[in-house]
Structure 1
Amino acid sequence: MSKLRAIIHVDMDAFYAAIEELDHPPWRGLPLVVGELGPRSVVSTASYAARRYGIRSAMPTLAAQRLCPQALFVPVRMSRYREVSAEVFGVFAEVSPEIEGLSLDEAFLDVTRSLRLFGGEVERIGRYLKQEIHQRTGLNASVGMAHNKLLAKLASELSKPDGFLRIQPDQVHAVLDPLPVGRLWTVGKVAEASLHRLGIHTVGELRFAEPRRLLQACGNQAALWQRLANGLDERPVDSAAEEKSVSAESTFVTDLTTLDQSLSWLAQLAERVGERLRAHGLQGRTVTVKLRKPPFETHTRQLSLPQPSDSTDVLLDAGRELLRRWWAAEKSPSLRLLGIGMSQFAPVPQSGLFAAPAEQGGRDQLADRINRKFGRGSLVRGVVLKSRKPGPEES
């Protein structure tokens, strides 16, 4: 039998809302919703006090207000959340290089090779993570530990908030069997409904279901689900997973009805994407523009670059061309959402010893340094100023 792995899943508690409470102490304990009120806004995160009223992520903010009229609604501050996330991931890197980030506030760590440094106990590593994250950021993390990813994630979920739980190999069935079948990885709402029609409501019932009947009713996923129901999961922690794309988008309270407005917003979004590309050492070949007409008709347009680039101007020129083409083809163009992104990344080539610095690259790097020092938006293209009106919900 192969040696069991030591896997940790860390999930920050109500991350965005917790940061807002940390930065604004009078808000602590209030039903707080991250997401501005508006007909097209949704909840990004809700504090635990707000969740008691039934408020959940991705819910329209107006629906959240109906559930809790006294709730405090605050705007998303993504740059601040990324800043705290970097501190959290810095703690992860102190215990293992094998980190699979799932989002700004969630990650898997394979700490199998780190056990000897912590006396052979995964719980000591888990406690170190919790304590260091809290000491450095003031925030609580829920930590789940097990011998695979499925069980480690369940452990953190079951112990939230401020959780700390290890699922031992001999506890797997005791923990899994009573859970609703929808708690398993890959079992979504449609799959859950299919299993319910077979009379399967718990993970234990799925584990003991007759495989042939399950296969006939649910298809090829049936075998995977039964393996998961038995607590089996061989997925590795994928620390080499690369970003497939870098993008930014905004949803508007009032539709954009002129090309001039739209180009201005596109420039602001392109600056954000360009800055992120350079920060991560990425150069891409494919530019994508996302356009959503009211009410919910979404279009995407793509353009391939002759060579990989991280230049904001190159990105913006391609995006402008795509936007103008789409605008000209529409009878009555208007936009409720606009986005731009870069994908198909290639390695950044190393400059030759005597290569002259590219003028545009120098301008971009200078702008990045100024914006890092004085805050995003301190130095922008003039066209961006036309977009600076309240109301968009950005991501």
Structure 2
Amino acid sequence: MTDTVQLCRDCLHIERMDANALGPRRCPSCHGSRLIRHPELMDLSIAHIDCDAFYASVEKRDDPSLADKPVIVGGGQRGVVSAACYVARIYGVRSAMPMFKALKACPDAVVIRPNMEKYSAVGRQIRALMLDATPLVEPLSIDEAFLDLSGTTRLHGRPPAATLAHLVKRIETEIGVSASIGLSYNKSLAKIASDLDKPRGFAVLGRADALSFLEEQPVGIIWGVGKSLRAKLEQDGLRTIRDLKKIDKFDLIARYGAMGKRLYHFARGEDDRGVQPDGETKSISAETTFNADLSDIQSLKEELWPLCEKVARRMKRQGFAGRSVHLKLKTADFKTVTRSRTLPDPTQFAEVLYRTAAPILEKTVEGRAFRLIGVGVADLTDPVLADPIDLADPDSGKRAKVERAIDAVRAKLGDGALKKGRGWH
């Protein structure tokens, strides 16, 4: 007799049963129908949790009148879709789609401007619930993370699969958004599994079935294979995981560099990376899409300054300083241009970000028109190391005092209470 394990996602009842005798049925304990069955269900502990259409779900939570309506979170006509609810997705709307295309596909959609501070706050609540389940949480964004639940059975009195089901129930009931689970024996497979049964899904890939599942999947299912790499792989005749497995490891590396090594191992269900709880925030950025393309350097600088203030504000609130400044531009024909500069000392100040990014901007524009500008910081570090007095720049201390004074006023009266002269336009 071949055994499998069944978990009720509603009441967490677990039973072992004959896999060959499974028919349509309900939980014998609560009569619920949300059942997950897999022979290795009690043995797997690496998970990927991803909230379902997160931004749109938060907006629907906050405005119940939107419940059955197609909702798009994104910019104006020239922006892109940040998130689309599942109703909007029926019409073909997808994340990163230009807004004009999204509205053409779904003209009745309710469009809501992104509120990143609200989404970040909800994301922190979700993160806290994840940390109740296990200390080994590796965030990928504000609404998704890897979790390693090895060794938590004694802590919670139930196996990892049941703890995960309990966790997403808490996210849904306490926070008001839904999430999907991917459970496997490594990170790459858990990430793949979490996309298999959305929304409110729970998919499992075990050691016995992962390889056969992967065999006929398109190469794009591999984490890290984006649109351009997928096109290159397909151009080289590599359309499925089966095709990839025919290629020697060193040939893949020769063709695709470091990514070739990942392709080789991920195609075989191999991934030895552990869940890294310290990798939460690697960069902080902000960007804006213009209503009309801009080529004038002064106009672009006027758009740059409030972004520098926004990034500086986020750094201060999150307790970071950044050593590397990044400028992002998107041309009228959607080509992305990025430039970066490493600072001698990390900073938290908008003024330093602007004084670093503006000269890069001047050298990059070259008369071209742009539809988007963004600025960000990376190489994040402790703010105690940030913005030392620069003896070579006598005015640096004065600028620091001015920015700290502005921060103090805004802390009391709100972010819009005070602006520097550069912020008026």
SS at match of 1:145: strand
Q: 1:379 to 1:23 in 2, by over 3 A?
A: farther
Q: Which moved more, 1:213-222 or 1:6-15?
A: 213-222
The match for 2:51 is: 12
SS at match of 1:44: strand
Q: Please tell me whether residue 115 in structure 1 is matched to residue 150 in structure 2.
A: no
The match for 1:338 is: 373
Q: Residues 360-379 of structure 1 correspond to what in structure 2 (within 5 A)?
A: 362-363=404-405, 365-367=407-409, 369-370=411-412, 374=414, 376-379=415-418
CA distance in 2: counterparts of 1:335 and 1:192, whole angstroms: 27
CA distance in 1: counterparts of 2:56 and 2:410, whole angstroms: 28
SS at match of 1:247: strand
SS at match of 1:237: coil
The match for 2:186 is: 148
Aligned length: 370
1:25 counterpart (64, 68, 87): 64
Segments of 5+ residues of structure 1 without an aligned counterpart are: 352-357, 387-395
Whichever residue aligns with residue 191 of structure 2, its letter is K
2:120 counterpart (82, 104, 111): 82
Report if the CA contact (8 A) 1:211-1:223 is conserved.
Answer: no
Q: 1:360 to 1:47 in 2, by over 3 A?
A: same
Q: 1:172 to 1:120 in 2, by over 3 A?
A: farther
Q: 1:336 to 1:183 in 2, by over 3 A?
A: closer
Higher relative contact order (CA 8 A, sep 6+): 1
The match for 1:354 is: none
CA distance in 2: counterparts of 1:383 and 1:151, whole angstroms: 49
The match for 1:348 is: 383
1:127 counterpart (165, 170, 189): 165
Report if the CA contact (8 A) 1:211-1:222 is conserved.
Answer: no
Report if the CA contact (8 A) 1:275-1:368 is conserved.
Answer: no
CA distance in 2: counterparts of 1:316 and 1:197, whole angstroms: 42
Q: Please tell me whether residue 67 in structure 1 is matched to residue 102 in structure 2.
A: no
CA distance in 2: counterparts of 1:322 and 1:249, whole angstroms: 16
Residue 34 of structure 1 deviates from its aligned partner by 1.3
CA distance in 2: counterparts of 1:44 and 1:360, whole angstroms: 35
Q: Which moved more, 1:249-258 or 1:63-72?
A: 249-258
Report if the CA contact (8 A) 2:249-2:264 is conserved.
Answer: no
Report if the CA contact (8 A) 2:138-2:280 is conserved.
Answer: no
Q: 1:234 to 1:255 in 2, by over 3 A?
A: same
Residue 186 of structure 1 deviates from its aligned partner by 4.1
Residue 20 of structure 1 deviates from its aligned partner by 1.5
CA distance in 2: counterparts of 1:159 and 1:50, whole angstroms: 18
Q: Please tell me whether residue 139 in structure 1 is matched to residue 177 in structure 2.
A: yes
The match for 2:268 is: 230
Q: Which moved more, 1:9-18 or 1:314-323?
A: 314-323
Q: 1:48 to 1:218 in 2, by over 3 A?
A: same
Residue 157 of structure 1 deviates from its aligned partner by 0.9
Q: Residues 99-248 of structure 1 correspond to what in structure 2 (within 5 A)?
A: 99-119=137-157, 121-189=159-227, 192=230, 201-203=239-241, 207=245, 209=246, 211=248, 224-241=262-279, 243-248=281-286
SS at match of 1:170: coil
Q: Residues 241-320 of structure 1 correspond to what in structure 2 (within 5 A)?
A: 241=279, 243-256=281-294, 261-292=299-330, 294-296=332-334, 300=338, 302-320=340-358
The match for 1:355 is: none
Given the two structures, how large is their TM-score scaled by the length of structure 2?
0.74
Whichever residue aligns with residue 274 of structure 1, its letter is A
Q: Please tell me whether residue 58 in structure 1 is matched to residue 96 in structure 2.
A: yes
SS at match of 2:79: coil
Q: 1:150 to 1:274 in 2, by over 3 A?
A: same
Report if the CA contact (8 A) 2:172-2:179 is conserved.
Answer: yes
Residue 344 of structure 1 deviates from its aligned partner by 3.5
Q: Which moved more, 1:314-323 or 1:162-171?
A: 314-323
Q: Please tell me whether residue 36 in structure 1 is matched to residue 75 in structure 2.
A: yes
CA distance in 2: counterparts of 1:179 and 1:72, whole angstroms: 35
Residue 291 of structure 1 deviates from its aligned partner by 4.3
The match for 1:391 is: none
Residue 225 of structure 1 deviates from its aligned partner by 3.6
CA distance in 2: counterparts of 1:236 and 1:120, whole angstroms: 22
Q: 1:135 to 1:365 in 2, by over 3 A?
A: farther
Report if the CA contact (8 A) 2:130-2:167 is conserved.
Answer: yes
Residue 42 of structure 1 deviates from its aligned partner by 1.4
CA deviations over 1:70-92 (Å, ceiling 9, x no partner): 22222222221111111111111
Residue 199 of structure 1 deviates from its aligned partner by 7.0
Segments of 5+ residues of structure 2 without an aligned counterpart are: 1-42, 387-399
Q: Percent of counterpart pairs with the same letter?
A: 34
